[in-house]
């Protein structure tokens, strides 16, 4: 082997190593970002689990406290963990200054529908699965006064998944949502309850 061919071979190895290191660094950054997202999702799911366990005994689902629609649950959990607060309120989250619930205090005011209800209505209008981004775009188009962040829409959809009202499907790297269709026996039972 000549010194020129050895130098050429060495430069190829150096280029390959540099390329491999660059790819490795890019992949590490990608994984770090995914870990951060997974930690946020874990905090959200932990909150959902805690709420489900806490309100498991309620027979009437309408008595459950509602999430503030302007703030995602992940940021609430993060703020609680930063402040070290571990206790939860036992009163409904929406209260008026007098201490009464917002439902009883809002007699003269027209109340906006909940974001979850709006998303359920929009999803029910489609037979095919929908992306959270598509749901947010449709929401902004049909309800221009509502402007939730993409994260709030995703959190609300995940909350509906946790309640069993919608299904989540992964297709490649996308998450798609559809309304849960009640089984034939459930439809008959609910029709009998309504009649």
CATH class, 7-87+113-182 region:
mainly alpha
DSSP β-bridge partners for residue 170? 175
Range 92-111 average pLDDT: 48
Two tokens, residue 57: 């005994």
Residue 93 has pLDDT above 50, yes or no: no
pLDDT at 127: 87
Angle separating helix axes 150-162 and 115-124, nearest 10 degrees: 80
pLDDT band, residue 95 (cuts 50/70/90): very low
Range 101-110 average pLDDT: 49
pLDDT band, residue 131 (cuts 50/70/90): very high
Domain residue extents for the chain = 7-87+113-182
User: Quick one: what percent of the chain has pLDDT higher than 70?
Assistant: 65
Sheet of 166-171: strands edge to edge?
Answer: 130-131, 174-179, 166-171
The CA distances from residue 15 to 3, 7, 29, 119, 121, in Å, are: 18, 12, 21, 52, 56
Residue with tokens 């221009």: 144
Cα–Cα distance between 175 and 150 in angstroms, integer? 13
pLDDT at 158: 93
Cα–Cα distance between 96 and 59 in angstroms, integer? 25
């Amino acid at each position: 082997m000549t010194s020129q061919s050895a130098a050429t071979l060495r430069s190829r190895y150096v280029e390959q190593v540099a390329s491999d290191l660059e790819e490795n660094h890019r992949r590490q950054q990608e994984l770090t970002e995914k870990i951060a997202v997974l930690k946020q999702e874990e905090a959200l799911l932990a909150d959902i689990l805690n709420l489900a366990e806490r309100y498991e005994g309620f027979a009437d689902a309408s008595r459950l406290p509602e999430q503030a629609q302007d703030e995602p649950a992940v940021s609430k959990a993060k703020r609680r963990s930063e402040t070290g607060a571990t206790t939860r309120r036992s009163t409904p989250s929406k209260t008026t200054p007098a201490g009464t619930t917002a439902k009883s205090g809002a007699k003269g005011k027209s109340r906006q529908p909940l974001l979850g209800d709006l998303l359920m209505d929009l999803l029910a209008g489609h037979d095919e699965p929908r992306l959270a981004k598509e749901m947010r775009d449709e929401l902004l188009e049909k309800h221009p006064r509502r402007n939730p962040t993409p994260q709030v829409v995703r959190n609300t959809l995940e909350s509906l998944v946790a309640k069993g009202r919608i299904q989540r499907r992964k297709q490649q790297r996308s998450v798609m949502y559809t309304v849960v269709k009640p089984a034939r026996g459930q439809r008959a039972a609910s029709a009998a309850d309504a009649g």
